[in-house]
Amino acid sequence: MINTDIEKLYEKANKHLWQDLSDADNESRPQIAVDGEGAWSIDIDGKKYFEATSVHSCLNLGYGQQELIEAATEQMKKLAYFTPAKLQVPAVELAAKLSELFQGDYTTFFSTSGSEANEVALKIARQYHIQTGNPGKYKFISHYNGYHGGTLGIQGVSSTPVFKSDFPGMTAPGFIHVLPPYDYRPPFGQQTESTEQSVAKHIEKVIQLEGPETVAGIFIEPVLFAGGCIIPSPEYLQLIFDICKKYNILLIVDEVVTGFGKTGKWFGFMHSEGVQPDIITTAKGLASAYIPLAATSVSEKIYSTFNRKGNRFKHFSTMGPHPVGCAVALKSIEIIEREQLVTKVAQLSQTVLSKLHELKSFNIVGDVRGIGFLYGIELVNDKQTKEPLSDETMSKIASACEDKGLHFAMDDNAIRLNPPLVSTEEDLRFLVDTLATVLNKFNK
Ligand SMILES: Cc1ncc(COP(=O)(O)O)c(C=O)c1O
């Protein structure tokens, strides 16, 4: 494109396109992406960027996956859309495949985004308790630093500082937040027990004080990714699972970011032996973001109470089990299985990404934490006080990396990494080396 056309595009964008996550200042000149290859996006000038956070944790299989394109095309030719109230083959097959991958007996309700999948989880949990004789159970517990979506119901469960909602009178009652098991900044100070144990004990106390007969569910992200990539030990989910069983509270595991291999296992909850969630939500990488698709999968214990006359679930999603989305998701899962990408993630995490821990030798790097392909690097002004690095310096670091062709997500003082499953060893070395070079420049 010639320069005048690019200028016109920016003019049109500033006037007509509502960009997410940006202040409309008419000055911004974000990247205009036009193409992609594997884990790299390509801008309008032909410059390539390694997408080290898979573009919002979405592009599991990267760009240009011919098989996904063919799966979509074939399905569009055959049956482009059908009613969620009847059956079509891709939705049935995908629901059965998800149950197999979850290693349990799950039934799935499809929708179109992570927010909707979690809205659906809220409504299923609420309706489940009503129809099993516990109508007083309406409260949900979740973590500060957690993010589960931005629509009106689920925004009450979310609590990352960046997305903190401020819509007075528009949030439903009954959302309780507790501090996360954040080992680098332990919520209750240094204790003899683990951070996970002290937070789990606190959650049990909160349930007792609120009244167990009022608590419907606990929302958990196996890794609190948007809130700084906080990674609890596997023990944490086991402790929460036991608490849920003790008080008849549903364990709702949000695998929107952690699903489909990103942690080195198929799902984040699988690191915690013996844990079988009541509800699992997935989105983003489910169809590798080639098409929007999300899923709320519930255990047999829950579904059996809906599968009766008069107990129909009171929710409908027109585009939910979209046949094209389901066909692409099935193909995406087939590729992950065939190419053994989950094992590859675990291996490359050990051999390449673990080198990120060496960045801790820099004065500005307070903490490096990682599991599989999910990594968080927390930057500080002072290692002793752990004072966060300023927003200004964080932005300068992001710009310096962008100049070198590296994109990642950043919230407050944490760099958040989550590269595509298809990243090559060379791609990951580029990521580690570029970060080391740039952070070295900003080191004091
Ligand atoms: C863990 C988690 N759950 C849910 C969501 C919401 O997904 P969506 O933006 O597709 O509504 C997000 C989005 O970042 C997320 O990180």
Q: What tokens does 198 get?
A: 């002290």
Mutate to test the pocket of ligand 1, among 20, 143, 147 (most ligand atoms within 8 A of CB): 147
Token pair 């080639």: residue: 290
User: Residue 112 contacts by C-beta under 8 Å, 6 or more apart in sequence?
Assistant: 292, 293, 294, 317, 319, 320, 322, 325
Residue 68, pLDDT > 90, answer yes
Q: Which atom of ligand 1 is nearest to the CA of 294?
A: 10
Measured in Å, residue 361 CA sits from the centre of ligand 1 at 33
Nearest ligand 1 atom, CA 118 = 4
Provide the pLDDT for residue 20.
79
Q: Is the CB of 147 under 6 A from ligand 1?
A: yes
Q: Is pLDDT larger for residue 404 or for residue 191?
A: 404
Residue 221 near ligand 1, beta carbon < 6 Å: yes
> 3-state class of 213 per DSSP?
helix
Contacts of 369 (CB under 8 A, 6+ apart): 183, 184, 229, 230, 231, 375, 376, 378
pLDDT tens per residue across span 335-394: 999 999 999 999 999 999 999 999 999 999 999 999 999 999 999 999 999 999 999 999
pLDDT exceeds cutoff 90 at 164: no
Is the CB of residue 411 below 6 angstroms from any atom belonging to ligand 1? no
Residue 329 pLDDT? 98
Ligand 1 contact, 119 CB (< 6 A): no
Report the pLDDT value the prediction gives residue 171, as an integer from 0 to 100: 75
pLDDT at 195: 96
Whose Cα sits closest to atom 13 in ligand 1?
Answer: 149
CB-count burial class (<10 Å; 0-12, 13-18, 19+) for 426? exposed
> Nearest to residue 114, comparing CAs of 250, 247, 226, 18?
226
Tell whether ligand 1 has an atom less than 6 A from the beta carbon of residue 257. yes
| Ligand 1 atom closest to the CA of 255, numbered from 1 | 1
Report, in angstroms and rounded to the nearest whole number, the Rg of the chain calculated over CA atoms: 22
**Helix (H, G, I), strand (E, B), or coil: what is residue 419?**
coil
Q: With 70 as the cut, is the pLDDT of residue 25 above it?
A: no
Separation of CA 377 and ligand 1 centre (Å):
21
What is the crossing angle of helices 195-210 and 234-246, to 10°?
A: 20
Architecture of domain 31-63+342-442: Alpha-Beta Complex (3.90)
Q: Could you tell me how far CA 236 lies from the centroid of its own chain?
A: 18
Q: Say if ligand 1 is within 6 A of residue 258 CB.
A: no
Taking the CA atoms of residue 2, residue 7, residue 12 and residue 18 in that order, the dihedral angle to the nearest 10 degrees is 110
**Is the minimum distance from the CB of 222 to ligand 1 under 6 angstroms?**
no
Return the half-sphere exposure (C-beta side, CA atoms, 13 A cut-off) of residue 181.
Answer: 25
pLDDT digits (tens, 9 = 90+) for 301-315: 999 999 988 999 999
State the pLDDT at residue 54.
98
237 lines ligand 1 (CB under 6 A): no
Structure tokens at 126: 């609420």
Q: Where are the beta strands (DSSP E) in 91-197?
A: 106-111, 139-143, 175-178
User: What pLDDT, on a 0 to 100 scale, did the predictor assign at position 169?
Assistant: 75
In CATH terms, 67-338 corresponds, of 3.40.640.10, 1.20.210.10, 3.40.50.1970, 3.40.50.1820, to 3.40.640.10
Give the distance (Å) from ligand 1 centre to CA of residue 113: 7
Neighbour order of strands in the sheet with 215-220:
106-111, 294-299, 279-282, 250-254, 215-220, 139-143, 175-178
In short, whether 409's Cβ falls inside 6 Å of ligand 1 is no
Q: How many CB atoms lie within 10 A of CB 6?
A: 14
Percent of the chain with pLDDT over 90: 86
Of 119-123, 173-177, 190-194, 290-294, the range with the lowest mean pLDDT is 190-194
Q: Reply yes or no on whether the pLDDT at 56 is more than 90.
A: yes
Q: Is the CB of 219 under 6 A from ligand 1?
A: no
Q: Evaluate: CB of 227 within 6 angstroms of ligand 1.
A: no
Q: Decide: helix, strand or coil at residue 183.
A: coil
- In this predicted structure, the answer to whether residue 163 has a pLDDT above a threshold of 60 is no
**From the CA of 146, how far away is ligand 1's center (Å)?**
10
Q: Atom 7 of ligand 1 has which residue's CA nearest to it?
A: 114
pLDDT tens, position by position, 83-95: 999 999 999 999 9
* Residue ID of nearest Cα to ligand 1 atom 2: 148
Domain boundaries, the chain: 31-63+342-442, 67-338
Minimum CA distance residue for ligand 1 atom 9: 114
Q: 180, 247, 239: which is closest to 211 by C-alpha?
A: 247
Helices 341-351 and 323-338 pack at an angle, to 10 degrees, of 60
24 band by pLDDT with thresholds 50, 70 and 90:
low
283 lines ligand 1 (CB under 6 A): yes
* Ligand 1 proximity of 154 Cβ (cutoff 6 Å): no
Q: Could you tell me the pTM of the whole model?
A: 0.97
For the record, the structure tokens of 81 come out as 């859309």
Using pLDDT thresholds of 50, 70 and 90, give the confidence band for residue 112: very high
Centre of ligand 1 from the C-alpha of residue 221, in Å? 10
Q: Which of 139, 151, 61 is nearest to 112 (CA)?
A: 151
- Could you give the C-alpha distances from 66 to 63, 89, 331, 334, in angstroms and in order? 9, 22, 11, 13
| Best residue for ligand 1 mutational test, from 255, 256, 291 (most atoms within 8 Å of Cβ) | 256
**CA dihedral for 195, 197, 200, 204, sign (positive or negative):** negative
pLDDT averaged over the chain? 95
